[in-house]
Structure 1
Amino acid sequence: MDSWWSLGDWSGFRGSELATNEIVCPFCGERGNWSAEFSAQKRQPNGYKILHYDTLKCGSCASFVQAFWSAGSGLHDFRVQPWPLKVCKAPEHWPEAIGRYWLQAKRNIKDESWDAAAVMARSALQLSLRDQGATGRTLQAEIDDLASKGVLPSLMRDWAHEVRALGNDSAHPAPSQAPTEAQDARDIVQFLDFFLEYSYSLPKKINDYRARRSTA
């Protein structure tokens, strides 16, 4: 997105009204319990888009957030500040089991449980590979299988092997093995983010674009 005027044009949520049911309170964690306290709009000069600036009040803890949002052709998207510091859920278009392990990896990073984060990242990776049809007796073989089929480009293959290697160290530790370094765990979970973005979020964005173009 190269302009805020493009918000909601290519991806986001169905409909032209703000999906407050998707907004999580950054203070108490309540989802979707909002009332609108203030609203302002700005219309695009010589265009059709409208940018919305809504102040929302949480019905649970009475805290406030600002939702900045805009609608395109059948979609809308938003940004909220402040945002939750705790990761509460995986994207809905990801397979449930993969999202569950990814969420645990994220929470283990937050809790500074570095070994556990690496193991959960490895599990999420392996589930994703199998979901995409990988075969092989080991995780290494499954990664190379998808790479040989052209599903994974070489850079994604290399990242996947990094997740596998660190996860293996934590899942099958030796008595003299050093603990997982904090930065290594953070890097591996970030690599997993890229992998799942490539595997699931990017295809969804492409499909949303094609759907929008087919009805234009």
Structure 2
Amino acid sequence: MTNLNPQLELPRCPHCQVARPNLSSVFHFESRDHAGADLRRWRVYNCTSCGGLTTAYALNFNQTVIDSFPKSMMVDDDIPERPRHFLQQALDSLHAPSGSIMLSASCVDSMLKMKGYNEGNLYSRIDKAAQNHLITNDMAAWAHEVRLDANDQRHADENASLPTIEDAKRVIDFVISFGQYLFVLPAKIQRGLKHN
């Protein structure tokens, strides 16, 4: 882990996911619990790429960071390799929202194919997955919204507004939920059943 220095060294910004971000301390302070114990020294860091703030604390300034907030998003290992690869790239390219959204759409496409939905375009496969109760109707509606955003980017639709990092985060939020529903939750249930 890194030290609580004037520059916080993280592999990626937890907000925009830019690699090797310039996270500069803009404020520092100390805190204690209600009894006056548990001294923590904090710094607040600003990402010069996106302006997002990250906090971190240690027992003393310039010592090893105990924890930082927010956390960078991580892709669950229960998501199969191919869609996990697309999702990790989507996360890593949040600073380039159009590309991130296209990679997110590729992840949804790959997840559906892994569940046996190979025929037709993505719209029809999403609808078929909802008809077969693989996903809920609300999840299908959310998936269509994500897909439309991806289409706007892939075909450079002149009428579509350029996506923001927040748009890409919204799409990634769906894709993570989709992956949790299709792969992560079933894997956790199977592990739970094996322990009983």
How would you bin the TM-score normalised by the shorter chain? 0.5 to 0.7
Match of 1:91, as an amino acid? D
Q: CA deviation at 1:86?
A: 4.5
Equivalent pair of 1:125/1:163 in contact (CA under 8 Å)? no
User: Is residue 173 from structure 1 mapped to residue 164 from structure 2 by the alignment?
Assistant: no
User: Is residue 137 from structure 1 mapped to residue 120 from structure 2 by the alignment?
Assistant: yes
1:104-135 alpha-carbon deviations (Å, 9 max, x no partner): 111121xx211111101100000001101113
SS of 1:94's equivalent in the other structure is coil
Match of 1:168, as an amino acid? N
Which residue of the partner structure matches residue 212 of structure 1?
195
Which residue of the partner structure matches residue 51 of structure 1?
none
**Aligned equivalent of 1:192, options 164, 170, 175:** 175
User: Is residue 146 from structure 1 mapped to residue 132 from structure 2 by the alignment?
Assistant: no
Identity %: 23
Over the aligned positions, Cα root-mean-square deviation in angstroms equals 2.3
* CA–CA separation in structure 1 for the residues paired with 2:135 and 2:72: 30
Over 3 Å counting, the alpha-carbon distance change for 1:145 and 1:135 in structure 2 is farther
TM-score, normalised with respect to structure 1: 0.58
* CA–CA separation in structure 1 for the residues paired with 2:138 and 2:112: 15
* CA–CA separation in structure 2 for the residues paired with 1:63 and 1:146: 51
Which residue of the partner structure matches residue 68 of structure 2?
82
Over 3 Å counting, the alpha-carbon distance change for 1:176 and 1:148 in structure 2 is closer
Structure 2, unpaired ranges of 5+ = 3-8, 12-61
1:60-94 alpha-carbon deviations (Å, 9 max, x no partner): xx96354xxxxxxxxxxxxxx2378545x632221
Q: CA deviation at 1:28?
A: 5.5
Match of 1:64, as an amino acid? T
* CA–CA separation in structure 2 for the residues paired with 1:157 and 1:105: 20
Which residue of the partner structure matches residue 97 of structure 1?
82
TM-score, normalised with respect to structure 2: 0.63
Which residue of the partner structure matches residue 19 of structure 2?
none
Match of 2:64, as an amino acid? F
Match of 1:95, as an amino acid? P
